[in-house]
Amino acid sequence: MIFRVLNRLIGRTDSSLDAVNAYVEGNASPDEIKLIEQMVRENPALEKDLTTQRSLLQVLDRVDNIEAPRSFAVTPEMVAAAERSESRLSRLAELFAPQRKLALAPAVIAGITALGVALLTLGDITGVVDQNRLSGEGSFTTTKAAEIGRQTEGRVSIIERESESSVADDVIVTVVVEKQVAGDSGSDGSTEMAASTDAPVATALVSEAQAPVVAPESEDSSLAAKAVAPDGEPEADADVIGEQPPSIAAAPPALVVEVDGDSLTENDIPAVAPEISELVSPDDLEAGTVTTSSLGYGVGGEIADGAADGAALGAAEGAAAGAADGAASNEGKGISLPLWQLQIALAALAIAAIGAWAGLRRARGE
């Protein structure tokens, strides 16, 4: 196509091409000879070129035929051997043979995915791309909550997992922090235990925003505290700070901490908190999903007279602090993606593509 365009730019058309070929081959028609003569008048150097080409063809015409050195007859054994050697992989490699359009497909895929990894990494370093907490390891998942319950042998357990209809991905996890009280060792459910011990039960429902981009300030983060009476019914609901934002669908999993026992004081924190602290990763704490302060306030609130309110308030304040931290840490960042998952997936794809490319080359015997 390019040569055709160039030929047209210099005034040479397909008809002139035919004329030149016919003239060199010695079978030009009278019209073609006239056209050649006109071209020669316009470009005298062309005459020598055409003469040289005619002489060249005369030399090439003197070349003898080449005889086959042996018989190339085909036998069933040859065909069978060829079919055996043509494995599935080699047939696949044929699809990517150099003369085919798919030849560079594996290399292109490898390049694109490697570029994707590089861009994500660069975005992570520069802060343009942020790890999506919803799917990141920083989120406090039901799996992790269940792990807490299992490892604390029921003293800390999941008693509730909710998914509010208006909040598609908001998983509410309720964890009961039970203080071991003599004579109550047989209790295993928070409601049952509350009844048997006749002690106030405080449930702190902490729904923290993960500081999404739409909520740059902590005050906008969703935050709620709920107190639960000993009979398990909600005693009081309190929106401590801020209001539930309409964009709660973007909110991370919430944490509900339920504290049982009126004798629970700040002195008891070390007996409970370390177990939780060991199970909750620093990323959880950094993300504001679970904060030591929320646990501390929730457990160590003034619950002698108003345990529920105190615990709820304390947990809510702790959550507020976490949310504020989260908001501050995410402020100004552009895109939230499941970063490390994408990086690993793309890197794996790049490696697979490179491996496939190398394998196909080997299958082709290159």
Partner 1 sequence: MASSIEPLNDTDSILTSFDEQRLIQLTRDGDYDAFNRLVIEYQGAVFAVVLRTVRNRAAAEDITQDAFISAFRKISSYRGGIFRAWLFRIAKNASLDYLRKQARRPETSIDEDIVYFSETVKDDSQDPLADALNAELARLIEHCLGGLSEDHRFAMVMVDVEGYQYDEAAESIGVSIGTVKSRLNRARARMSDCVQQDPELLPVAMRL
Contact footprint for partner 1 (CB under 8 A): 3-4, 14, 17-18, 20-21, 24, 48-49, 51-76, 78-79, 82-83, 97-99, 365-366
Per the CB < 8 A criterion, the answer to whether 244 and 203 are in contact is: no
CB nearer to partner 1: give 78 or 335. Answer: 78
Helix (H, G, I), strand (E, B), or coil: what is residue 18? Answer: helix
Min separation Cβ 76 and partner 1, Å: 6
CB nearer to partner 1: give 12 or 161. Answer: 12
Min separation Cβ 105 and partner 1, Å: 17
Min separation Cβ 96 and partner 1, Å: 12
Per the CB < 8 A criterion, the answer to whether 206 and 255 are in contact is: yes
Min separation Cβ 352 and partner 1, Å: 23
Per the CB < 8 A criterion, the answer to whether 273 and 296 are in contact is: yes
Per the CB < 8 A criterion, the answer to whether 145 and 284 are in contact is: no
Burial (CB < 10 A; 0-12, 13-18, 19+), residue 255, is: buried
CB nearer to partner 1: give 17 or 115. Answer: 17
Q: Of the candidates 89, 91, 87, 20, which has an alpha carbon nearest to the alpha carbon of residue 57?
A: 20
d(CA 46, CA 17): 13
CB nearer to partner 1: give 53 or 247. Answer: 53
CB nearer to partner 1: give 97 or 236. Answer: 97
Min separation Cβ 99 and partner 1, Å: 6
Min separation Cβ 70 and partner 1, Å: 7
Per the CB < 8 A criterion, the answer to whether 259 and 204 are in contact is: yes
CB nearer to partner 1: give 79 or 214. Answer: 79
How is residue 276 written in tokens? Answer: 């939780």
DSSP label of 167:
-
